[in-house]
Chain A
Protein backbone atom coordinates (compact mmCIF):
# COMPACT_ATOMS: atom_id res chain seq x y z
CA UNK A 1 0.00 0.00 0.00
CA UNK A 2 1.61 3.22 -1.18
CA UNK A 3 0.99 5.92 1.41
CA UNK A 4 1.46 9.59 0.72
CA UNK A 5 1.56 12.33 3.33
CA UNK A 6 -1.66 14.32 3.46
CA UNK A 7 -1.77 16.51 6.52
CA UNK A 8 -0.38 16.91 10.00
CA UNK A 9 -3.30 17.39 12.35
CA UNK A 10 -3.11 18.41 15.98
CA UNK A 11 -3.12 14.88 17.33
CA UNK A 12 -2.63 12.61 14.36
CA UNK A 13 -0.78 12.23 11.11
CA UNK A 14 -3.01 11.85 8.05
CA UNK A 15 -1.88 9.88 5.01
CA UNK A 16 -3.63 8.93 1.80
CA UNK A 17 -3.61 5.59 0.05
CA UNK A 18 -5.96 3.24 -1.75
CA UNK A 19 -7.66 0.48 0.17
CA UNK A 20 -8.77 -2.30 -2.20
CA UNK A 21 -9.17 0.27 -4.91
CA UNK A 22 -11.03 2.84 -2.83
CA UNK A 23 -9.59 6.23 -1.89
CA UNK A 24 -8.52 5.91 1.73
CA UNK A 25 -7.34 8.16 4.52
CA UNK A 26 -5.13 6.72 7.27
CA UNK A 27 -5.31 8.53 10.60
CA UNK A 28 -2.39 7.53 12.73
CA UNK A 29 -2.14 8.76 16.28
CA UNK A 30 1.57 8.89 16.81
CA UNK A 31 3.20 9.00 20.22
CA UNK A 32 3.20 12.51 21.65
CA UNK A 33 6.67 12.88 23.12
CA UNK A 34 5.68 15.76 25.37
CA UNK A 35 3.27 13.76 27.48
CA UNK A 36 3.81 10.94 29.95
CA UNK A 37 3.82 7.50 28.30
CA UNK A 38 1.01 6.15 30.50
CA UNK A 39 -1.19 9.17 29.80
CA UNK A 40 -0.36 9.01 26.10
CA UNK A 41 -1.27 5.34 25.78
CA UNK A 42 -4.49 5.75 27.71
CA UNK A 43 -5.63 8.81 25.73
CA UNK A 44 -4.76 7.24 22.38
CA UNK A 45 -6.56 3.95 23.04
CA UNK A 46 -9.59 5.67 24.50
CA UNK A 47 -9.87 8.15 21.64
CA UNK A 48 -9.53 5.58 18.86
CA UNK A 49 -12.26 3.49 20.43
CA UNK A 50 -14.65 6.36 20.97
CA UNK A 51 -13.91 7.75 17.51
CA UNK A 52 -14.84 4.50 15.79
CA UNK A 53 -17.91 3.95 17.97
CA UNK A 54 -19.15 7.48 17.39
CA UNK A 55 -18.73 7.28 13.62
CA UNK A 56 -20.70 4.08 13.59
CA UNK A 57 -23.44 5.56 15.72
CA UNK A 58 -23.58 8.64 13.47
CA UNK A 59 -24.10 6.52 10.39
CA UNK A 60 -26.85 4.49 12.01
CA UNK A 61 -28.59 7.78 12.85
CA UNK A 62 -28.40 9.30 9.40
CA UNK A 63 -25.41 11.58 9.87
CA UNK A 64 -22.83 11.38 7.11
CA UNK A 65 -19.31 10.46 8.18
CA UNK A 66 -16.52 8.73 6.28
CA UNK A 67 -16.86 4.92 6.13
CA UNK A 68 -14.40 3.05 8.31
CA UNK A 69 -12.45 0.37 6.42
CA UNK A 70 -10.20 -0.96 9.15
CA UNK A 71 -8.74 -0.21 12.59
CA UNK A 72 -5.23 -1.21 13.57
CA UNK A 73 -4.64 -0.90 17.31
CA UNK A 74 -0.97 -1.91 16.94
CA UNK A 75 -0.13 1.26 15.06
CA UNK A 76 -3.05 3.28 16.45
CA UNK A 77 -4.39 3.83 12.96
CA UNK A 78 -7.87 4.15 11.55
CA UNK A 79 -8.33 3.45 7.83
CA UNK A 80 -11.34 5.34 6.49
CA UNK A 81 -12.94 6.55 3.30
CA UNK A 82 -11.34 9.62 1.79
CA UNK A 83 -14.29 11.85 0.96
CA UNK A 84 -13.70 13.37 -2.46
CA UNK A 85 -14.32 15.75 -3.89
CA UNK A 86 -14.90 17.88 -0.82
CA UNK A 87 -14.03 21.19 0.80
CA UNK A 88 -14.15 22.18 4.44
CA UNK A 89 -16.97 24.34 5.72
CA UNK A 90 -14.26 26.75 6.75
CA UNK A 91 -13.14 27.16 3.13
CA UNK A 92 -16.75 27.50 2.06
CA UNK A 93 -17.54 30.31 4.53
CA UNK A 94 -14.30 32.11 3.72
CA UNK A 95 -15.15 31.91 0.01
CA UNK A 96 -18.68 33.21 0.53
CA UNK A 97 -17.43 36.07 2.68
CA UNK A 98 -14.65 36.95 0.27
CA UNK A 99 -16.94 37.04 -2.74
CA UNK A 100 -19.61 38.87 -0.75
CA UNK A 101 -22.08 36.28 -1.94
CA UNK A 102 -24.62 37.40 0.65
CA UNK A 103 -26.14 35.55 3.58
CA UNK A 104 -28.28 33.05 1.67
CA UNK A 105 -25.67 30.30 1.24
CA UNK A 106 -24.47 30.77 4.83
CA UNK A 107 -27.96 30.49 6.26
CA UNK A 108 -28.70 27.40 4.15
CA UNK A 109 -25.47 25.90 5.44
CA UNK A 110 -26.40 26.83 9.01
CA UNK A 111 -29.69 24.98 8.55
CA UNK A 112 -27.78 21.83 7.59
CA UNK A 113 -25.25 22.15 10.40
CA UNK A 114 -28.00 22.64 12.98
CA UNK A 115 -29.77 19.60 11.62
CA UNK A 116 -26.72 17.39 11.94
CA UNK A 117 -25.80 18.51 15.44
CA UNK A 118 -29.43 18.25 16.52
CA UNK A 119 -29.58 14.68 15.28
CA UNK A 120 -26.23 13.83 16.82
CA UNK A 121 -27.22 15.17 20.24
CA UNK A 122 -30.55 13.41 20.05
CA UNK A 123 -28.57 10.19 19.58
CA UNK A 124 -26.29 11.15 22.50
CA UNK A 125 -23.24 11.78 20.36
CA UNK A 126 -21.10 14.66 21.61
CA UNK A 127 -18.59 15.52 18.91
CA UNK A 128 -16.33 17.43 21.29
CA UNK A 129 -14.44 19.42 18.66
CA UNK A 130 -17.00 21.11 16.45
CA UNK A 131 -15.09 23.54 14.27
CA UNK A 132 -15.61 24.62 10.70
CA UNK A 133 -12.50 22.62 9.74
CA UNK A 134 -14.11 19.45 11.04
CA UNK A 135 -17.07 19.60 8.69
CA UNK A 136 -16.75 18.80 5.01
CA UNK A 137 -19.06 19.73 2.19
CA UNK A 138 -19.43 17.04 -0.43
CA UNK A 139 -21.73 16.34 -3.35
CA UNK A 140 -24.99 14.81 -2.19
CA UNK A 141 -25.12 11.14 -3.13
CA UNK A 142 -27.65 10.78 -5.92
CA UNK A 143 -27.40 7.02 -6.44
CA UNK A 144 -26.82 7.39 -10.18
CA UNK A 145 -24.04 7.99 -12.67
CA UNK A 146 -24.04 11.71 -11.90
CA UNK A 147 -22.52 11.09 -8.51
CA UNK A 148 -19.53 9.38 -10.06
CA UNK A 149 -18.65 12.47 -12.07
CA UNK A 150 -15.27 13.81 -11.15
CA UNK A 151 -15.33 17.22 -9.58
CA UNK A 152 -12.49 19.27 -8.27
CA UNK A 153 -12.86 21.08 -4.93
CA UNK A 154 -13.24 24.31 -6.91
CA UNK A 155 -16.29 22.84 -8.64
CA UNK A 156 -17.87 22.22 -5.26
CA UNK A 157 -17.75 25.94 -4.56
CA UNK A 158 -19.78 26.53 -7.70
CA UNK A 159 -22.48 24.11 -6.63
CA UNK A 160 -25.75 25.14 -5.12
CA UNK A 161 -25.61 24.51 -1.38
CA UNK A 162 -28.80 22.43 -1.69
CA UNK A 163 -26.87 19.88 -3.76
CA UNK A 164 -24.19 19.52 -1.11
CA UNK A 165 -24.21 17.74 2.19
CA UNK A 166 -22.22 18.16 5.36
CA UNK A 167 -19.95 15.28 6.35
CA UNK A 168 -18.80 15.30 9.94
CA UNK A 169 -15.16 14.31 10.54
CA UNK A 170 -12.57 14.08 13.32
CA UNK A 171 -14.30 12.37 16.20
CA UNK A 172 -11.13 12.27 18.27
CA UNK A 173 -12.69 14.01 21.27
CA UNK A 174 -16.11 12.45 21.01
CA UNK A 175 -18.09 11.22 23.98
CA UNK A 176 -21.16 9.03 23.90
CA UNK A 177 -24.02 9.28 26.41
CA UNK A 178 -23.92 13.00 27.02
CA UNK A 179 -25.71 15.10 29.59
CA UNK A 180 -27.33 18.45 28.65
CA UNK A 181 -24.23 20.08 30.13
CA UNK A 182 -21.93 18.23 27.69
CA UNK A 183 -24.18 19.12 24.79
CA UNK A 184 -24.23 22.75 25.86
CA UNK A 185 -20.43 22.77 25.94
CA UNK A 186 -20.39 21.12 22.50
CA UNK A 187 -22.44 24.01 21.09
CA UNK A 188 -20.32 26.53 22.99
CA UNK A 189 -17.16 25.09 21.40
CA UNK A 190 -18.76 25.50 17.97
CA UNK A 191 -19.88 29.04 18.70
CA UNK A 192 -16.41 30.05 19.80
CA UNK A 193 -14.69 28.29 16.91
CA UNK A 194 -17.06 29.88 14.41
CA UNK A 195 -16.82 33.41 15.76
CA UNK A 196 -13.05 33.33 16.25
CA UNK A 197 -12.35 31.88 12.78
CA UNK A 198 -14.94 33.83 10.81
CA UNK A 199 -15.55 37.41 11.97
CA UNK A 200 -19.13 38.72 11.78
CA UNK A 201 -20.88 35.36 11.81
CA UNK A 202 -23.01 35.86 14.94
CA UNK A 203 -26.17 35.53 12.86
CA UNK A 204 -24.91 32.28 11.32
CA UNK A 205 -24.59 30.75 14.76
CA UNK A 206 -28.07 32.01 15.64
CA UNK A 207 -29.37 30.24 12.52
CA UNK A 208 -27.54 27.04 13.49
CA UNK A 209 -29.17 27.22 16.89
CA UNK A 210 -32.63 27.73 15.37
CA UNK A 211 -32.22 24.68 13.19
CA UNK A 212 -30.76 22.74 16.12
CA UNK A 213 -33.89 23.42 18.17
CA UNK A 214 -36.07 22.17 15.33
CA UNK A 215 -34.07 18.97 14.95
CA UNK A 216 -33.65 18.10 18.59
CA UNK A 217 -37.14 18.99 19.85
CA UNK A 218 -37.01 16.90 23.01
CA UNK A 219 -33.66 17.99 24.37
CA UNK A 220 -32.97 21.41 22.87
CA UNK A 221 -34.56 23.62 25.52
CA UNK A 222 -32.46 22.20 28.31
CA UNK A 223 -29.28 22.20 26.21
CA UNK A 224 -29.72 25.85 25.20
CA UNK A 225 -30.25 26.74 28.85
CA UNK A 226 -26.95 25.02 29.65
CA UNK A 227 -25.31 26.82 26.72
CA UNK A 228 -26.31 30.14 28.27
CA UNK A 229 -24.84 29.03 31.58
CA UNK A 230 -21.58 27.95 29.96
CA UNK A 231 -21.36 31.24 28.06
CA UNK A 232 -21.76 33.09 31.32
CA UNK A 233 -19.12 30.96 32.99
CA UNK A 234 -16.69 31.57 30.17
CA UNK A 235 -17.28 35.27 29.74
CA UNK A 236 -18.02 36.51 33.18
CA UNK A 237 -15.92 34.19 35.25
CA UNK A 238 -13.98 36.21 37.79
CA UNK A 239 -10.62 36.61 36.17
CA UNK A 240 -7.93 37.41 38.65
CA UNK A 241 -4.69 38.64 37.07
Chain B
Protein backbone atom coordinates (compact mmCIF):
# COMPACT_ATOMS: atom_id res chain seq x y z
CA UNK B 1 0.00 0.00 0.00
CA UNK B 2 1.38 3.36 -1.04
CA UNK B 3 -0.14 6.75 -0.21
CA UNK B 4 1.00 9.66 -2.38
CA UNK B 5 0.27 13.38 -2.01
CA UNK B 6 0.55 15.63 -5.05
CA UNK B 7 1.15 19.40 -5.24
CA UNK B 8 0.10 21.15 -8.44
CA UNK B 9 0.53 24.86 -9.15
CA UNK B 10 1.84 25.25 -12.66
CA UNK B 11 -0.84 27.73 -13.75
CA UNK B 12 -3.71 29.51 -12.01
CA UNK B 13 -4.98 26.47 -10.10
CA UNK B 14 -3.51 25.38 -6.80
CA UNK B 15 -4.38 21.75 -6.18
CA UNK B 16 -3.33 19.25 -3.54
CA UNK B 17 -4.55 15.66 -3.82
CA UNK B 18 -3.99 12.41 -1.99
CA UNK B 19 -4.11 9.01 -3.66
CA UNK B 20 -3.95 5.58 -2.08
CA UNK B 21 -3.29 2.82 -4.62
CA UNK B 22 -5.49 4.25 -7.34
CA UNK B 23 -8.19 5.60 -5.01
CA UNK B 24 -8.55 9.37 -4.73
CA UNK B 25 -8.86 10.16 -1.01
CA UNK B 26 -9.05 13.93 -1.43
CA UNK B 27 -8.44 16.46 -4.18
CA UNK B 28 -9.18 20.06 -3.12
CA UNK B 29 -8.34 22.92 -5.45
CA UNK B 30 -8.32 26.72 -5.31
CA UNK B 31 -8.41 28.77 -8.53
CA UNK B 32 -7.03 32.27 -9.02
CA UNK B 33 -9.72 34.12 -10.96
CA UNK B 34 -8.94 37.44 -12.63
CA UNK B 35 -11.44 40.14 -13.71
CA UNK B 36 -13.04 39.85 -17.20
CA UNK B 37 -10.74 40.93 -20.01
CA UNK B 38 -7.60 40.03 -18.05
CA UNK B 39 -5.34 37.01 -17.97
CA UNK B 40 -3.39 35.83 -14.93
CA UNK B 41 0.15 37.13 -14.41
CA UNK B 42 2.92 34.97 -12.90
CA UNK B 43 3.61 37.22 -9.91
CA UNK B 44 -0.02 37.53 -8.82
CA UNK B 45 -0.67 33.85 -9.41
CA UNK B 46 2.31 32.89 -7.25
CA UNK B 47 1.00 35.15 -4.50
CA UNK B 48 -2.37 33.43 -4.73
CA UNK B 49 -0.72 30.00 -4.37
CA UNK B 50 1.35 31.12 -1.36
CA UNK B 51 -1.72 32.53 0.34
CA UNK B 52 -3.80 29.38 -0.05
CA UNK B 53 -1.18 26.61 0.12
CA UNK B 54 -1.55 25.84 3.82
CA UNK B 55 -5.35 25.91 3.97
CA UNK B 56 -5.68 23.68 0.88
CA UNK B 57 -3.08 21.27 2.33
CA UNK B 58 -5.00 21.09 5.60
CA UNK B 59 -8.21 20.47 3.67
CA UNK B 60 -6.56 17.68 1.67
CA UNK B 61 -5.37 15.93 4.85
CA UNK B 62 -8.71 16.41 6.65
CA UNK B 63 -10.83 15.11 3.76
CA UNK B 64 -8.55 12.11 3.29
CA UNK B 65 -8.68 11.48 7.04
CA UNK B 66 -4.98 10.72 7.22
CA UNK B 67 -2.02 12.09 9.15
CA UNK B 68 1.23 13.27 7.58
CA UNK B 69 3.07 10.18 8.88
CA UNK B 70 0.72 7.92 6.83
CA UNK B 71 2.02 9.43 3.60
CA UNK B 72 4.71 7.50 1.73
CA UNK B 73 5.76 9.94 -0.94
CA UNK B 74 5.48 13.66 -1.74
CA UNK B 75 4.96 14.52 -5.44
CA UNK B 76 5.14 17.97 -7.00
CA UNK B 77 4.96 19.52 -10.46
CA UNK B 78 8.42 20.20 -11.84
CA UNK B 79 7.05 21.72 -15.05
CA UNK B 80 6.04 22.78 -17.62
CA UNK B 81 4.26 25.90 -16.46
CA UNK B 82 4.74 29.44 -15.26
CA UNK B 83 7.95 29.89 -13.28
CA UNK B 84 6.79 31.78 -10.22
CA UNK B 85 3.66 29.69 -9.47
CA UNK B 86 5.63 26.46 -10.00
CA UNK B 87 8.37 27.54 -7.58
CA UNK B 88 6.00 28.70 -4.88
CA UNK B 89 4.16 25.36 -4.95
CA UNK B 90 7.35 23.29 -5.10
CA UNK B 91 8.60 25.16 -2.05
CA UNK B 92 5.66 23.86 -0.01
CA UNK B 93 6.27 20.30 -1.26
CA UNK B 94 9.97 20.47 -0.38
CA UNK B 95 9.23 21.88 3.05
CA UNK B 96 6.74 19.17 4.03
CA UNK B 97 9.01 16.45 2.60
CA UNK B 98 11.75 17.58 4.99
CA UNK B 99 9.42 18.19 7.93
CA UNK B 100 7.75 14.82 7.57
CA UNK B 101 10.97 13.08 6.45
CA UNK B 102 9.43 11.61 3.31
CA UNK B 103 10.90 10.94 -0.15
CA UNK B 104 10.00 13.40 -2.90
CA UNK B 105 9.30 12.85 -6.62
CA UNK B 106 9.38 15.52 -9.35
CA UNK B 107 6.54 15.02 -11.85
CA UNK B 108 5.97 16.22 -15.41
CA UNK B 109 2.63 18.00 -15.49
CA UNK B 110 1.55 16.51 -18.84
CA UNK B 111 2.36 12.98 -17.67
CA UNK B 112 0.18 13.72 -14.64
CA UNK B 113 -2.78 14.44 -16.92
CA UNK B 114 -2.23 11.28 -18.94
CA UNK B 115 -1.84 8.97 -15.93
CA UNK B 116 -4.88 10.47 -14.20
CA UNK B 117 -6.93 10.02 -17.37
CA UNK B 118 -5.85 6.39 -17.65
CA UNK B 119 -6.64 5.75 -13.98
CA UNK B 120 -10.10 7.32 -14.00
CA UNK B 121 -11.28 5.94 -17.35
CA UNK B 122 -9.53 2.58 -17.21
CA UNK B 123 -8.31 2.94 -20.79
CA UNK B 124 -5.35 0.69 -21.52
CA UNK B 125 -3.31 2.20 -24.33
CA UNK B 126 -5.13 5.22 -25.72
CA UNK B 127 -4.13 7.87 -28.21
CA UNK B 128 -4.23 10.94 -25.99
CA UNK B 129 -5.44 14.40 -26.95
CA UNK B 130 -4.01 16.75 -24.34
CA UNK B 131 -5.63 20.16 -24.59
CA UNK B 132 -5.27 22.98 -22.08
CA UNK B 133 -4.41 26.64 -21.76
CA UNK B 134 -0.74 25.96 -22.36
CA UNK B 135 -0.61 22.70 -24.28
CA UNK B 136 -2.09 21.08 -27.35
CA UNK B 137 -0.60 17.68 -28.10
CA UNK B 138 -1.60 14.35 -29.59
CA UNK B 139 0.33 11.69 -27.74
CA UNK B 140 0.71 7.92 -27.99
CA UNK B 141 2.82 5.57 -25.93
CA UNK B 142 5.56 3.49 -27.46
CA UNK B 143 8.77 2.04 -26.10
CA UNK B 144 8.92 3.71 -22.70
CA UNK B 145 8.02 7.13 -23.94
CA UNK B 146 4.88 9.18 -24.44
CA UNK B 147 5.62 10.26 -27.99
CA UNK B 148 4.18 13.49 -29.34
CA UNK B 149 2.68 12.80 -32.77
CA UNK B 150 1.07 16.14 -33.30
CA UNK B 151 1.01 19.45 -31.50
CA UNK B 152 0.36 23.12 -32.00
CA UNK B 153 3.13 24.92 -33.80
CA UNK B 154 2.26 28.19 -32.06
CA UNK B 155 -0.30 28.87 -29.30
CA UNK B 156 -2.33 26.31 -27.36
CA UNK B 157 -6.02 25.85 -28.10
CA UNK B 158 -6.99 26.89 -24.55
CA UNK B 159 -4.93 30.03 -24.92
CA UNK B 160 -6.75 30.79 -28.17
CA UNK B 161 -10.15 30.36 -26.48
CA UNK B 162 -9.11 32.34 -23.38
CA UNK B 163 -7.82 35.23 -25.43
CA UNK B 164 -10.99 35.36 -27.49
CA UNK B 165 -12.99 35.38 -24.25
CA UNK B 166 -11.03 38.50 -23.32
CA UNK B 167 -12.06 40.17 -26.58
CA UNK B 168 -15.72 39.53 -25.69
CA UNK B 169 -15.03 40.48 -22.04
CA UNK B 170 -16.47 37.18 -20.83
CA UNK B 171 -16.10 36.28 -17.17
CA UNK B 172 -13.08 34.23 -16.04
CA UNK B 173 -15.29 32.53 -13.44
CA UNK B 174 -15.11 29.54 -13.32
CA UNK B 175 -13.01 29.73 -16.49
CA UNK B 176 -13.12 31.67 -19.76
CA UNK B 177 -13.39 28.43 -21.75
CA UNK B 178 -16.45 27.34 -19.79
CA UNK B 179 -18.21 30.62 -20.56
CA UNK B 180 -17.36 30.35 -24.27
CA UNK B 181 -18.84 26.85 -24.22
CA UNK B 182 -22.09 28.06 -22.63
CA UNK B 183 -22.43 31.00 -25.01
CA UNK B 184 -21.64 28.82 -28.04
CA UNK B 185 -24.73 26.72 -27.28
CA UNK B 186 -26.88 29.66 -28.43
CA UNK B 187 -24.82 30.23 -31.58
CA UNK B 188 -26.56 29.54 -34.90
CA UNK B 189 -24.70 31.20 -37.70
CA UNK B 190 -21.39 29.70 -38.75
CA UNK B 191 -18.57 32.00 -39.84
CA UNK B 192 -15.78 30.34 -41.77
CA UNK B 193 -12.46 30.87 -40.02
CA UNK B 194 -8.88 30.02 -41.04
CA UNK B 195 -8.49 26.26 -40.66
CA UNK B 196 -4.83 25.25 -40.36
CA UNK B 197 -3.82 21.58 -40.15
CA UNK B 198 -0.32 20.61 -41.23
CA UNK B 199 0.13 16.88 -41.09
CA UNK B 200 -0.60 16.04 -37.48
CA UNK B 201 0.18 19.57 -36.30
CA UNK B 202 -2.18 22.50 -35.94
CA UNK B 203 -1.79 26.25 -35.78
CA UNK B 204 -4.14 28.68 -34.04
CA UNK B 205 -2.35 32.02 -34.10
CA UNK B 206 -3.58 33.06 -37.56
CA UNK B 207 -7.13 32.11 -36.65
CA UNK B 208 -6.90 34.10 -33.41
CA UNK B 209 -5.60 37.23 -35.15
CA UNK B 210 -8.37 36.91 -37.72
CA UNK B 211 -11.18 36.55 -35.24
CA UNK B 212 -9.78 39.16 -32.84
CA UNK B 213 -9.81 41.66 -35.67
CA UNK B 214 -13.11 40.68 -37.30
CA UNK B 215 -15.29 39.91 -34.30
CA UNK B 216 -15.83 43.43 -32.90
CA UNK B 217 -16.69 44.72 -36.39
CA UNK B 218 -19.07 41.86 -37.26
CA UNK B 219 -20.81 42.08 -33.91
CA UNK B 220 -21.19 45.85 -34.15
CA UNK B 221 -22.72 45.58 -37.62
CA UNK B 222 -25.13 42.99 -36.24
CA UNK B 223 -24.09 40.35 -38.77
CA UNK B 224 -23.04 37.91 -36.09
CA UNK B 225 -23.79 37.73 -32.37
CA UNK B 226 -21.08 37.02 -29.77
CA UNK B 227 -22.74 33.58 -29.41
CA UNK B 228 -22.34 32.95 -33.16
CA UNK B 229 -18.67 33.85 -32.89
CA UNK B 230 -18.08 31.49 -29.95
CA UNK B 231 -19.94 28.76 -31.82
CA UNK B 232 -17.89 29.28 -35.00
CA UNK B 233 -14.63 29.40 -33.05
CA UNK B 234 -15.39 26.17 -31.17
CA UNK B 235 -16.61 24.32 -34.26
CA UNK B 236 -13.46 25.28 -36.16
CA UNK B 237 -10.75 24.68 -33.57
CA UNK B 238 -12.32 21.47 -32.31
CA UNK B 239 -12.67 20.11 -35.87
CA UNK B 240 -8.93 20.74 -36.27
CA UNK B 241 -8.18 18.87 -33.04
CA UNK B 242 -10.40 15.92 -33.98
CA UNK B 243 -8.81 15.75 -37.40
CA UNK B 244 -5.24 15.48 -36.07
CA UNK B 245 -6.34 13.00 -33.42
CA UNK B 246 -7.96 10.87 -36.10
CA UNK B 247 -4.81 11.08 -38.19
CA UNK B 248 -2.70 9.92 -35.26
CA UNK B 249 -5.14 7.06 -34.58
CA UNK B 250 -5.04 5.97 -38.21
CA UNK B 251 -1.26 6.25 -38.14
CA UNK B 252 -0.84 4.18 -34.96
CA UNK B 253 -3.75 1.80 -35.59
CA UNK B 254 -5.20 2.83 -32.23
CA UNK B 255 -8.73 1.92 -31.11
CA UNK B 256 -8.89 4.03 -27.94
CA UNK B 257 -8.87 7.79 -27.55
CA UNK B 258 -8.55 9.72 -24.30
CA UNK B 259 -9.08 13.46 -23.85
CA UNK B 260 -7.25 15.15 -20.97
CA UNK B 261 -6.43 18.73 -19.93
CA UNK B 262 -8.64 21.69 -19.05
CA UNK B 263 -10.22 22.07 -22.50
CA UNK B 264 -10.99 18.33 -22.35
CA UNK B 265 -14.02 18.92 -20.13
CA UNK B 266 -15.71 20.84 -22.96
CA UNK B 267 -18.83 18.80 -23.76
CA UNK B 268 -18.91 19.81 -27.41
CA UNK B 269 -15.31 18.64 -27.91
CA UNK B 270 -16.18 15.34 -26.23
CA UNK B 271 -19.29 14.99 -28.39
CA UNK B 272 -17.35 15.59 -31.62
CA UNK B 273 -14.62 13.18 -30.55
CA UNK B 274 -17.32 10.62 -29.72
CA UNK B 275 -18.77 10.87 -33.23
CA UNK B 276 -15.32 10.46 -34.79
CA UNK B 277 -14.50 7.48 -32.56
CA UNK B 278 -17.80 5.81 -33.38
CA UNK B 279 -17.21 6.21 -37.12
CA UNK B 280 -13.89 4.44 -36.68
CA UNK B 281 -15.24 1.78 -34.35
CA UNK B 282 -13.03 3.14 -31.57
CA UNK B 283 -13.83 3.98 -27.95
CA UNK B 284 -13.77 7.46 -26.42
CA UNK B 285 -12.58 8.01 -22.86
CA UNK B 286 -13.05 11.36 -21.16
CA UNK B 287 -13.35 12.69 -17.63
CA UNK B 288 -15.11 15.64 -16.04
CA UNK B 289 -13.83 18.92 -14.63
CA UNK B 290 -12.66 17.31 -11.35
CA UNK B 291 -9.87 15.47 -13.13
CA UNK B 292 -9.55 17.22 -16.51
CA UNK B 293 -8.69 20.57 -15.02
CA UNK B 294 -5.33 20.80 -13.22
CA UNK B 295 -5.51 19.11 -9.84
CA UNK B 296 -3.26 17.66 -7.16
CA UNK B 297 -4.40 14.05 -7.47
CA UNK B 298 -3.04 13.76 -11.01
CA UNK B 299 0.43 14.69 -9.79
CA UNK B 300 0.04 12.21 -6.93
CA UNK B 301 -1.03 9.49 -9.38
CA UNK B 302 1.90 10.00 -11.77
CA UNK B 303 4.26 10.29 -8.78
CA UNK B 304 2.77 7.11 -7.30
CA UNK B 305 3.55 5.24 -10.54
CA UNK B 306 7.09 6.64 -10.62
CA UNK B 307 7.73 5.93 -6.92
CA UNK B 308 6.55 2.31 -7.27
CA UNK B 309 8.92 1.81 -10.20
CA UNK B 310 11.78 2.93 -7.95
CA UNK B 311 12.11 6.61 -8.78
CA UNK B 312 12.72 9.31 -6.17
CA UNK B 313 14.22 12.76 -6.63
CA UNK B 314 17.22 13.94 -4.59
CA UNK B 315 16.43 17.07 -2.57
CA UNK B 316 19.15 18.99 -4.44
CA UNK B 317 17.41 18.13 -7.73
CA UNK B 318 13.93 19.27 -6.72
CA UNK B 319 13.97 22.23 -9.05
CA UNK B 320 11.32 23.57 -11.42
CA UNK B 321 11.45 24.24 -15.13
CA UNK B 322 9.08 26.20 -17.33
CA UNK B 323 9.86 24.01 -20.31
CA UNK B 324 9.58 20.28 -19.84
CA UNK B 325 8.37 18.21 -22.76
CA UNK B 326 6.19 15.14 -22.37
CA UNK B 327 8.62 13.04 -24.42
CA UNK B 328 11.60 13.89 -22.17
CA UNK B 329 10.39 11.54 -19.44
CA UNK B 330 11.39 7.90 -19.47
CA UNK B 331 8.23 5.97 -18.68
CA UNK B 332 9.62 3.33 -16.32
CA UNK B 333 6.24 2.13 -15.08
CA UNK B 334 4.75 0.86 -18.36
CA UNK B 335 5.79 -2.00 -20.57
Contact = CB atoms under 8 A, between A and B. Distances in A.
A193 interface: yes
Given A36-B239, A131-B251, A133-B251, A234 B151 contact: yes
Given A10-B250, A33-B275, A39-B239, A193 B322 contact: no
Contact of A34 (B80, B147, B242, B251): B242
Contacts of B134: 238-241
Nearest to B85: A241
A239 B143 CA distance: 24
Which of B135, B199, B242, B247 has the most C-beta atoms of chain A within 10 angstroms of its own C-beta? B199
A196 B141 CA distance: 10
B277 to A, nearest CB: 9
Contact of B247 (A10, A39, A192, A236): A10
A36 B151 CA distance: 23
B197 to A, nearest CB: 6
Contacts of B159: 240
Contacts of B242: 34-35
Given A130-B199, A241-B77, A197 B272 contact: no
Interface residues of B, number: 54
Given A240-B134, A241-B132, A193 B250 contact: no
B325 interface: yes
A128 B244 CA distance: 13
Nearest to A9: B250
Contacts of A36: 190, 235, 239
B279 A189 contact: no
Contact of B149 (A8, A32, A196): A196
A42 B192 CA distance: 9
B324 interface: yes
A194 B260 CA distance: 25
Interface residues of A, number: 38
A11 interface: yes
Contacts of A218: none
Contacts of A238: 80, 134, 322-323
B314 interface: no
A230 to B, nearest CB: 6
B273 A34 contact: yes
B109 interface: yes
Contact of A39 (B150, B154, B190, B322): B190
Contacts of A129: 198-200, 247
Nearest to A238: B322
B251 A197 contact: yes
Interface in A1-28: 8-11
Which of A42, A199, A237 has the most C-beta atoms of chain B within 10 angstroms of its own C-beta? A237
A144 B247 CA distance: 39
A239 B236 contact: no
B199 A193 contact: yes
Interface string A31-48: 011111011001100000
Contacts of A188: 153, 201
A151 to B, nearest CB: 25
Closest A-B pairs by Cβ, 7 of them: A241-B10, A240-B134, A189-B199, A239-B80, A34-B275, A241-B81, A35-B239
12 contacts: A32-B276, A34-B239, A34-B275, A34-B276, A34-B279, A39-B235, A39-B236, A129-B200, A129-B247, A189-B201, A240-B156, A241-B134
Interface of A: 8-11, 32-36, 38-39, 42-43, 128-131, 133, 173, 185-186, 188-189, 192-193, 196-197, 199, 230, 233-241
